[in-house]
Structure 1
Amino acid sequence: MAGASAAGQDGPGQPRTTPERTSEFRKDMGPWANFALGFTYLSPVVSTYTLFGTALAEGGPPMIWAFVLAGAGQFLVALVFGEVVAQYPIAGGVYPWARRLWGKRWAWMTGWVYMWALLVTITSVAYGAGPYIAILFGFDPTVHTTVLCTVVLILVAIVINYAGTRVLSWAAVIGFGAELIGALVVGIYLLATHRHHNLGVIFDTYGTEGNGSYLPVFLAAAIIGFYQYYGFEACGDTAEEVAHPGKVIPKAMRRTIYVGGAAATFTCLTLLLSVADYQAVLSGEDTDPVVKVLYDAMGETGARLVMAVVLISFLSCTVSLQAAAGRLIYAYGRDEMIVGHQFLRKFAHARAVPGYALLVAAVIPALIAFASLLSTDALTKIVSFAILGIYASFQMVVLAALRARLKGWKPSGEFTLGRWGLLVNFGALAYGIFAIINICWARTPEVAWYDNYVVLLCGAVVLGTGLLYMVITHHYGRGEAPAGDAIPERRRGAHARD
């Protein structure tokens, strides 16, 4: 396993806090670029603009409270991740963390689930940009043009990633600027010139609950919050490209939640207060309230300028996702954990990027985009599966951390939660389980069973094929990187064998 540094020795009886081999990555990413990478991956503009109409039609204006619910839960997850990455600053994120906390098999499956979730998320973000690209360049946003726009955006993103860490850092910082313009500048303008409601509207359900409780309706609309709050882990995916990662990355993760969550909530609020006719959205007459608000408030020229800024946000988010996916796949190849590892571990030293791994992070999302032509309501299903996969892989790390704690692991990096660690870990796990159940819950009994359970079925396919692959190939056992050594007795056993 390559690592952030080979310098320094741990004290007697202390766990290693750095990987054993010298990293091939360059430390070209500064603290703000690392934060910007996580922020553009989390992307308040992308998540809000993609799902605003869906969530509003489902749950009315109170759906905005989903940002508070998901933000609080994912903040606990970010705290757990911060402890882990501070001790194990290794490229690839959840896979190497799970490996050190639990073992090879658990890590392999965690990385497998996370890899597919990332690849699908790349598609979901690029797919969500399709209608905005169409409006910006003046053609009709049909299903086929959306898929073509998705593929083009993926290709542009891979070119940026191939340019190297410095260009990736600049892309993240530019994307961060576009996000702030899209969230703050546009939001303030809408509040000043196009506000139709007061704050009380966020408590008005507009009858979306029918004759029953509002809770089931709210939980269905909460997809907008669940989709919002991941991306902070990307700060850790590039741990080997950041100086002093044990201090910088946990802080960047928390800052991503604070700033990204606040920007997303503000963006959603300004759009809610600017929608002139809620009933048109709830009835399905207005299927794209974001575009209507922008055109009504700014005219065609102004709206297209905003579309250009929004498109930068979608592109930077796609770039950040590809960077995370490429480094995960590279980490798999480096540890000989997957077929084709001879190619996937190859490193382009001139640009300091894992070339073949990044290529996979472009080709598979493009194929998923073309496959979406076979499904109705493709965007919602793609997003739902992406959320399920990300949350499942997150919780595999959270569970591994909890198990390690109960077996004696005491985080020893530059960021620790101290005596609050166990309580926070339990809270993060409880939230994650709740979110996964909510995402998988079948809510459309009127459609065919396979369509109603498509997200759960896709998750089962990924899990089943992963287990089958793992059992047949035994790739999980090939790598020589440390595994399970966060647990004291495992570490003592390894030292005894040495």
Structure 2
Amino acid sequence: MSTSSQPSKRISADDAHLRVLGYEENFDRKIGMWSNFALGFLYLSPLVAVLSMFTQALTTAGPPSILWIVIAAGGQLLVAMVFGEIVSQFPIAGGLYQWARRLWNGQYAWILSWIYISGVIVGCTTTAMFSADFILPIFTSDTNVASTPMQKLVIATIVVLVALVLNATGSKTLATIAKIGLAAELAGIILVGLFLLIFHRENSFSVLFDTMGAGGDGSYLSAFVTAAIIGLVLFYGFEACGEVAEETPNPGRSIPRSMMLTVVLGGAAALFAFIGYILAAPNLQGIVDGDVANPIAAILDDTLGTAGTKIFLIVALTSFLACVMGQQAAGSRLIFSFARDDMFPGSRIFKKISTRKVPLNAAYAVAGLPIVLFFLLYFLPGALFRVAAFQMLAGYFAFQMVVLASLRARAKGWQPGGRWTLGKWGWPVSIGALIYGVLSMILLARPNGDTSLPFYDRWIALIGFLIVAVTGLVYMYVAKPYQRSTAPEGDAIEVANTLREHRANNDNHDITDDAPVGGTLV
């Protein structure tokens, strides 16, 4: 009997890196650096944030509320830097879950992911609900119309389902929509912003520092602190760049850059847009007083006319849709990664990959749960901004769990082993990120200042967070899902040393497909 052997197939350094981390390659690497940046930028979506938060910002604290964009940008840039060197060492689908698992352990990663998934799902909910006030005027004669609760429910459901259908077609579609959405974002912010500033400036720059009576007879400081949500909601989504690490070439270098670019350029774009709308508002005092139903539509209608406003609203629709797609993609990859390690309820179902290399069952879950929440908000339409605060509280808590895990690992001797590191700045940047995050969570958990609201409504962000956290802890200690997984954990120091050794001795070594999973790169 004769035998023949086939030569080993060479695999990429990215896939070899993945095998060292204990996983086989499941995805196609079709999301390049700019598509990866576009995904994070669209998840953060400065245009969506401005359209959603403009009214809330001005009625709460007047034009000075835009200072929160600068404050939050500085704090979240520190967090993005910490995430950058972690993802450079652990470029795995699932992002925060995987980072926490490898820096600490499975239990810690489990509760973090449970909380973060709830934040992502609520993020899909609020983004889709906010879109209604900008999609409805496209189909009506009055561009200054505000949507009813039923219209919000219907429009938000359609947005979520369309995003799901597009996501189901694969990573290539996601990358393409991300690029289209990025172009729409930039056009909607830069072109419209420049047009307003150059040709339709109604107010002087001094109004940016004028409270215009916001806060009423009470302390303006309290009103200004309440407006913190404007900046905190904006800088959320850059971590999505890491959720698709297994679909991105050279993730150890490109994803850290994408994260930081997302924060810096997203913040600059949002600040530019806010200033443009404030300076172009013909009835700025009426907006601050809450007398204008849909301020941005009113400003655009006054400056661009009905036809121009509708064109802009179509651009806004593209941005909202792309933002929801990005949120769904990030959430579904996290659930998939969670389930792949047998850590998620229903893991057998959610770890399946479709023929188009998409975790479709996980995507169904991320799309389906927001539709349930739409009905809750139908009965509590005034709670939308406070539900958004819960989304941010859950997200920021998960972020800071990762930052804390990185500090603990550093104290144990971890020196990040990816191709992008902070070097000697690792400790001060990580400590600064943690301080910023803790202060942000305190602001997000504060009760609504309107004492006429019921207790549960004023504290809805904190109550919702506690329900999610306690439910997750009870399930974790009763079902012990972390015991069902054999995935690597707590190996940050070991992996960092392996990666450094490989780069020092084997940068030119050909890597073949018989490289062991969970072994070394050579």
Q: TM-score range by the shorter chain?
A: over 0.9
Question: Could you tell me which residue of structure 2 aligns to residue 124 of structure 1?
Answer: 126
Q: In the alignment, does 2:16 pair up with 1:7?
A: yes
* Equivalent AA in structure 1 for residue 199 of structure 2: T
What is the Cα deviation at residue 282 of structure 1? 2.6
Q: In the alignment, does 2:181 pair up with 1:175?
A: yes
Question: Could you tell me which residue of structure 1 aligns to residue 60 of structure 2?
Answer: 58
Deviates more, 1:216-225 or 1:431-440: 216-225
Whether the aligned pair in 2 keeps the contact of 1:61 and 1:203 (CA below 8 Å) is yes
Distance (whole Å) between structure 2 residues aligned to residue 233 and residue 190 of structure 1: 32
Question: Could you tell me which residue of structure 1 aligns to residue 468 of structure 2?
Answer: 462
Shift in CA distance, 106/39, structure 1 to aligned 2, threshold 3 Å: same
Deviations 1:409-432 (A, max 9, x none): 111111111111011001000000
* Equivalent AA in structure 2 for residue 244 of structure 1: N
Whether the aligned pair in 2 keeps the contact of 1:4 and 1:89 (CA below 8 Å) is no
Distance (whole Å) between structure 1 residues aligned to residue 195 and residue 384 of structure 2: 29
Please give the TM-score of this superposition, normalised by the length of structure 1.
Answer: 0.94
Distance (whole Å) between structure 2 residues aligned to residue 91 and residue 289 of structure 1: 40
Whether the aligned pair in 2 keeps the contact of 1:40 and 1:175 (CA below 8 Å) is yes
Question: Could you tell me which residue of structure 2 aligns to residue 353 of structure 1?
Answer: 358
Question: Could you tell me which residue of structure 2 aligns to residue 292 of structure 1?
Answer: 298
Deviates more, 1:158-167 or 1:281-290: 281-290
* Equivalent AA in structure 1 for residue 366 of structure 2: A
What is the Cα deviation at residue 381 of structure 1? 1.9
Please give the TM-score of this superposition, normalised by the length of structure 2.
Answer: 0.90
Whether the aligned pair in 2 keeps the contact of 1:4 and 1:22 (CA below 8 Å) is no
Alignment match of 1:328 (pick from 312, 334, 343): 334
Give the CA RMSD over aligned residues: 2.0
Deviations 1:121-177 (A, max 9, x none): 001111110111110111862110111100000000001100100010000000000
Unaligned runs of at least 5 residues, structure 2: 1-11, 499-517
Question: Could you tell me which residue of structure 1 aligns to residue 5 of structure 2?
Answer: none
Whether the aligned pair in 2 keeps the contact of 1:31 and 1:248 (CA below 8 Å) is yes
Superposition map of 1:331-410 within 5 A: 331-348=337-354, 350-410=355-415
* Equivalent AA in structure 1 for residue 439 of structure 2: F
Whether the aligned pair in 1 keeps the contact of 2:41 and 2:182 (CA below 8 Å) is yes
Question: Could you tell me which residue of structure 2 aligns to residue 93 of structure 1?
Answer: 95
Whether the aligned pair in 2 keeps the contact of 1:119 and 1:365 (CA below 8 Å) is yes
Whether the aligned pair in 2 keeps the contact of 1:4 and 1:239 (CA below 8 Å) is no
Distance (whole Å) between structure 2 residues aligned to residue 356 and residue 131 of structure 1: 30
* SS of match in other structure, 1:408: coil
Question: Could you tell me which residue of structure 2 aligns to residue 43 of structure 1?
Answer: 45
Distance (whole Å) between structure 2 residues aligned to residue 406 and residue 207 of structure 1: 49
Alignment match of 2:437 (pick from 423, 427, 432): 432
Question: Could you tell me which residue of structure 1 aligns to residue 240 of structure 2?
Answer: 234
Question: Could you tell me which residue of structure 2 aligns to residue 145 of structure 1?
Answer: 151
Question: Could you tell me which residue of structure 2 aligns to residue 259 of structure 1?
Answer: 265
* Equivalent AA in structure 2 for residue 466 of structure 1: G
Shift in CA distance, 219/17, structure 1 to aligned 2, threshold 3 Å: farther
Question: Could you tell me which residue of structure 1 aligns to residue 324 of structure 2?
Answer: 318
What is the Cα deviation at residue 213 of structure 1? 4.3
What is the Cα deviation at residue 276 of structure 1? 1.7
Shift in CA distance, 263/489, structure 1 to aligned 2, threshold 3 Å: closer
Unaligned runs of at least 5 residues, structure 1: 9-15
Q: In the alignment, does 2:281 pair up with 1:275?
A: yes
What is the Cα deviation at residue 353 of structure 1? 0.6
Whether the aligned pair in 2 keeps the contact of 1:4 and 1:240 (CA below 8 Å) is no
Whether the aligned pair in 2 keeps the contact of 1:4 and 1:19 (CA below 8 Å) is no
What is the Cα deviation at residue 192 of structure 1? 2.1
Question: Could you tell me which residue of structure 1 aligns to residue 6 of structure 2?
Answer: none
Between the two proteins, what is the percent identity of the paired residues? 41
Question: Could you tell me which residue of structure 2 aligns to residue 243 of structure 1?
Answer: 249
* SS of match in other structure, 2:16: coil
* Equivalent AA in structure 1 for residue 386 of structure 2: K
Question: Size of the alignment, in residue pairs?
Answer: 484
Alignment match of 2:113 (pick from 89, 111, 114): 111
Q: In the alignment, does 2:226 pair up with 1:220?
A: yes
Question: Could you tell me which residue of structure 2 aligns to residue 102 of structure 1?
Answer: 104
